[in-house]
Amino acid sequence: MQGVGFRPFCFRLATELGLNGWVRNTPAGVELELQGKAAALDAFCRRLLVELPPLAVVTRLEHHDLTEQSASPGFVILPSSDGKPEVQIAPDTALCPDCRRELFDPADRRFRHPFITCTNCGPRFTIVTGTPYDRPLTTMAGFPLCPACQAEYDNPLDRRFHAQPIACPDCGPRLSSSPLPGGEGGHGPGEGALRHAAALLQQGQIVAVKGLGGFHLAVDASSDQAIARLRQRKQRDEKPFAVMVPDVATARQLAELSPMEERLLSGPEAPIVIVRRRPGCAVSPLVAPGSQWIGLLLAYTPLHQLLCAEARLPGLVMTSANASDQPMVCTDEEAFQQLAGIADALLANDRPIQTRTDDSVLRVFRGQPLFYRRSRGYVPRPVPLCFNAGQLLAVGAELKNTVCLSRGDQAFFSQHIGDLKNEQTFDTFRQTIGQLRDILEIQPTMVTCDLHPDYLSTRYAQACGLPLLKVQHHHAHMAACMAENGLEGELIGVIFDGTGLGDEGSVWGGEFLVGGYTGVRRAGHLKPVRLLGGDLAAREPWRMVVAWLYEQLGDTVWRLPGMPELTASEQQVLQAMLSRGISAPLTSSVGRLFDAVAALLGVGDCNSFDGQAAMALEALAEQAAVAARLPAVVLWDNGDAPFQLDAAPLLQALAAARRAGLATGGLALGFHRALADAVLAGCSRLRDSAGLERVVLSGGVFQNRLLSEMVYTCLAQAGFAVFVHRLAPSNDGGIALGQLAVAAHREM
434, 129 contact by CB (below 8 A): no
- Mean residue pLDDT of the chain comes to 93
As a whole number, mean pLDDT of residues 296-319 equals 97
- How high is the pLDDT of residue 22? 86
As a whole number, mean pLDDT of residues 382-399 equals 96
- How high is the pLDDT of residue 323? 77
Ranges 128-132, 399-403, 502-506, most confident: 399-403
Q: Number of folded domains in the chain?
A: 2
Is the per-residue pLDDT at 617 higher than 90?
Answer: yes
As a whole number, mean pLDDT of residues 316-324 equals 90
Residue 484 lies in a domain: no
As a whole number, mean pLDDT of residues 21-47 equals 84
As a whole number, mean pLDDT of residues 531-538 equals 93
Domain end marker among 77, 93, 108: 77
Residue 602 lies in a domain: yes
Is the per-residue pLDDT at 182 higher than 70?
Answer: no
Tens-digit pLDDT profile for residues 655-692: 999 999 999 999 999 999 999 999 999 999 999 999 99
Residue 656 lies in a domain: yes
303, 123 contact by CB (below 8 A): no
As a whole number, mean pLDDT of residues 179-198 equals 79
Kindly report the pTM of this predicted structure: 0.92
Residue 318 lies in a domain: no
Strand partners, 401: 418
Helix residue ranges per DSSP H, 582-661: 590-600, 612-622, 648-659
As a whole number, mean pLDDT of residues 348-354 equals 95
Question: pLDDT: is 325 or 381 the higher one?
Answer: 381
- How high is the pLDDT of residue 31? 85
- How high is the pLDDT of residue 190? 80
Is the per-residue pLDDT at 208 higher than 90?
Answer: yes
Is the per-residue pLDDT at 203 higher than 80?
Answer: yes
Residues 452, 680: Cα–Cα separation, whole Å:
30
CATH of the domain at 45: 3.30.70.100
Domain end marker among 77, 92, 110: 77
CATH of the domain at 714: 3.30.420.40
75: nearest Cα among 158, 16, 159: 16
- How high is the pLDDT of residue 747? 63
- How high is the pLDDT of residue 275? 97
Helix/strand/coil for 364: strand
> Would you call the peptide bond into 173 cis, given omega within 30 degrees of 0 as the criterion?
yes
Helix (H), strand (E) at residue 102: helix 97-103
Percent of the chain as helix, strand, coil, to the nearest 5? 35, 20, 45
HSE of 510, CA atoms in CB hemisphere, 13 A: 25
Interacting residues of 731 by C-beta distance below 8 A, sequence separation 6+: 372, 399, 400, 497, 699, 700, 703
Interacting residues of 97 by C-beta distance below 8 A, sequence separation 6+: none
The range of the structural domain enclosing residue 27 comes to 6-77
Is the per-residue pLDDT at 68 higher than 80?
Answer: no
- How high is the pLDDT of residue 186? 58
Residue 531 lies in a domain: yes
As a whole number, mean pLDDT of residues 451-466 equals 96
Residues 649, 667: Cα–Cα separation, whole Å:
14
Q: How confident is the model at residue 187 (pLDDT cuts 50, 70, 90)?
A: low
Domain end marker among 23, 55, 77: 77
Dihedral pair phi/psi, residue 625, rounded to 5°:
-85, -30
As a whole number, mean pLDDT of residues 450-470 equals 96
Mode of pairing for the β-strands spanning 272-277 and 361-365: parallel
As a whole number, mean pLDDT of residues 498-520 equals 95
Three-state secondary structure readout of 292-351: CEEEEEECCCHHHHHHHHHHCCCCEEEEECCCCCCCCCCCHHHHHHHCECCECEEEEECC
Q: How confident is the model at residue 59 (pLDDT cuts 50, 70, 90)?
A: confident
Is the per-residue pLDDT at 185 higher than 60?
Answer: no
634, 649 contact by CB (below 8 A): yes
Helix (H), strand (E) at residue 631: none
As a whole number, mean pLDDT of residues 171-184 equals 83
Three-state secondary structure readout of 367-379: CEEEEEECCCCCC
- How high is the pLDDT of residue 631? 94
As a whole number, mean pLDDT of residues 498-514 equals 94
Residue 224 lies in a domain: no
Is the per-residue pLDDT at 86 higher than 70?
Answer: no
Residue 572 lies in a domain: yes
270, 300 contact by CB (below 8 A): yes
Residues 179, 185: Cα–Cα separation, whole Å:
5
Tens-digit pLDDT profile for residues 626-649: 999 999 999 999 888 999 999 999
Is the per-residue pLDDT at 4 higher than 60?
Answer: yes
pLDDT above 90 covers a percentage of the chain that reads 80
- How high is the pLDDT of residue 76? 85
379, 91 contact by CB (below 8 A): yes
Residue 67 lies in a domain: yes
Interacting residues of 175 by C-beta distance below 8 A, sequence separation 6+: 114, 189, 190, 193, 194, 303, 347, 348, 349
Is the per-residue pLDDT at 1 higher than 80?
Answer: no
Residues 211, 92: Cα–Cα separation, whole Å:
11
Is the per-residue pLDDT at 58 higher than 80?
Answer: no
Is the per-residue pLDDT at 5 higher than 80?
Answer: no
Residues 364, 293: Cα–Cα separation, whole Å:
12
- How high is the pLDDT of residue 575? 94
- How high is the pLDDT of residue 10? 84
Q: Euclidean distance between the first and final Cα of the chain, in Å?
A: 28
Is the per-residue pLDDT at 321 higher than 80?
Answer: yes
